């Protein structure tokens, strides 16, 4: 199982990004064009958020990828009725077939913590470097 990094950014803020993960669906908005690496059920996702690309990202939480009952990793309103409306209520926008990752073993980090090693991150899902993982682990251990 891999460790993966999901970076959120405006227009949805860190509180709403964390609220979607912390809510009833334990989800992360994950449009297909934002997924830049392979993922598998059980992979650990580190959810971070940043305002500007040059800013250090803040660690919001973590969890493990859950598959749909059909074994897919992308969840939609069809596989999780109400998930799209939950996202819309938090300020997300998108088509009727919005795609999400659902996570288990969710841990929200409060207060959100800046991780200096996480700068210049693209939005969406990517594979972290060993240095980035070390920074995440250090911050997570301190809270």
Q: How confident is the model at residue 107 (pLDDT cuts 50, 70, 90)?
A: very high
- Domains: count for the chain: 1
Phi, psi dihedrals of residue 131, rounded to the nearest 5°: -65, -40
- Which whole number is the average pLDDT over 87-116? 94
Residue 137: enclosing H or E segment and its boundaries? helix 130-142
Rounded mean pLDDT of the chain?
Answer: 94
**pTM score:** 0.94
Q: Quick one: pLDDT at residue 82? A: 97
Domain span at 63: 3-142
* Domain of residue 96, CATH code: 3.10.590
Q: Would you call 87 helix, strand, or coil by DSSP? A: helix
- Which whole number is the average pLDDT over 83-109? 96
């Amino acid at each position: 199982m891999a460790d993966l990094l999901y970076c959120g950014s405006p227009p949805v803020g860190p509180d709403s990004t964390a609220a979607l993960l912390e809510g009833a669906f334990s989800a992360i908005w994950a449009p297909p064009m934002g997924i830049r690496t392979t993922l598998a059920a059980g992979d650990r996702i580190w959810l971070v958020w940043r305002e500007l690309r040059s800013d250090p990202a803040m660690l919001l939480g973590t969890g493990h990828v859950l598959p749909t009952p059909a074994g897919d990793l992308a969840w939609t309103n069809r596989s999780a009725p109400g998930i799209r409306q939950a996202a819309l209520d938090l300020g997300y926008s998108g088509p009727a077939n919005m795609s999400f990752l659902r996570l288990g073993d969710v841990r929200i980090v409060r207060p959100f913590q800046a991780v200096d090693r996480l700068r210049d991150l693209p939005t969406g899902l990517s594979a972290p470097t060993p240095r980035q993982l070390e920074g995440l682990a250090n911050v997570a251990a301190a809270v």
